Structure 1
Amino acid sequence: MVACGEDQHSFPGLDGESLVRVPARPGKAEMDLLLRKHDRVVVAGTDADLAAVLVRLLRTDRVTGVSVGFVPTERDSAVAARWGLPAGTDKALKLALDGTATEVPLVRDDTGGVLAGRATLHDLRGEAYCDEHQAFAGPAAAVEVSSDAAGLVARVTRGKLVKRTAEFHGRAFQLGCVPTTSLVSDGLAQPRELTKRTWYRHTEDLRLVTGFIR
């Protein structure tokens, strides 16, 4: 198991050989050898930590070769909510270690990143499409992108006094907008100004241990 970050959770029953502690959002130096050696990895950390590990799966071409379990260390984990992971570290750890992996969509973006849980933006002006369908043109109070069974779902909220939210499901969501720094991806604010971003379903699905009975 890979435990990410400075928050040193204890994991009873795991010894020094099966428990590896790495920095938050681990990169090539911490992950690539592990991912090449093992066909199953359990990640304990934040949604952003999981996203960093999934980036390394992509870079090492191991998306279909490694099953992934996740033990969220944040109560508001969007990954846990989306994939039915149990509350509490002990229950989540048991599922991550013993559960069966199933194929779920892997959502990436056009900057080389991976979206593990949820991306949000607010107070936008621009235009966006989900596949061939226009999601909005003009102002939008908020946009939220996350994965779903079809690939991804985008929720667009419009209006100031009376807010209306529409959902769009598809394989890709393309956004063009006036410059904004409002993007928060997997809980991390992205300070770099952006004028466009695309999220899309990867050609290979992720093998993820979920809390759903299939």
Structure 2
Amino acid sequence: MSVDLKKLRQQLQQQRKSVSGFEHQRAQQQIFQRLIRLKKFQQAHKVGIYLHAFGEVHTRQIIEYCFKQHKQVYLPMICTMNQQLRWVKISQRQYRNQRFSHHALGMQEPMASRGVHVSHLDLLILPLLACDLLGTRIGMGGGFYDRTLASAKHRPLRFGIAHDFQLVTNPLPRKPWDQALDGLITPTKSLHFTR
């Protein structure tokens, strides 16, 4: 059965927007508990993660835990020259003081002129709109993560975090340039995929 991606994106964006504050808090807590038990997360020193802006799973608890565990935290910044993401290391103080700039697409970015390539990271925690049981990830449609990860085939380890309704059972179409996940964590599941 083929999937209408445009329709699926609209449906899931709407569903994500309707998640209540309480549901976001509960999902964040449940995903956090699953994530910190993963050996790959425990071993990761340089962690790339996002700041939630469009109804994605909230990341505050994960970020604060990373700082507490003396992990290095990196946030994405869009490079306008090649439309790829660069990863900027932030401090706990910078995070808590919300020292970020507002990007035209609607998300916050670290205020820095330089960042590192994604292959510098040990683990990347990605937002998504949908993921299937094979690890195919559908994002917001800008292709930033796919373009960025295409130049880093083996590193970092890629884990998506999502609400349970974002895991779809029908296989999603995967184009040659689409970058699959190594794992997905939802409030009720921890899945591992073969990339």
TM-score, with length taken from structure 1: 0.25
More helix by share: 2
Greater percentage in strand? 1
- What's the TM-score, normalizing by structure 2? 0.27
Larger Rg: 1
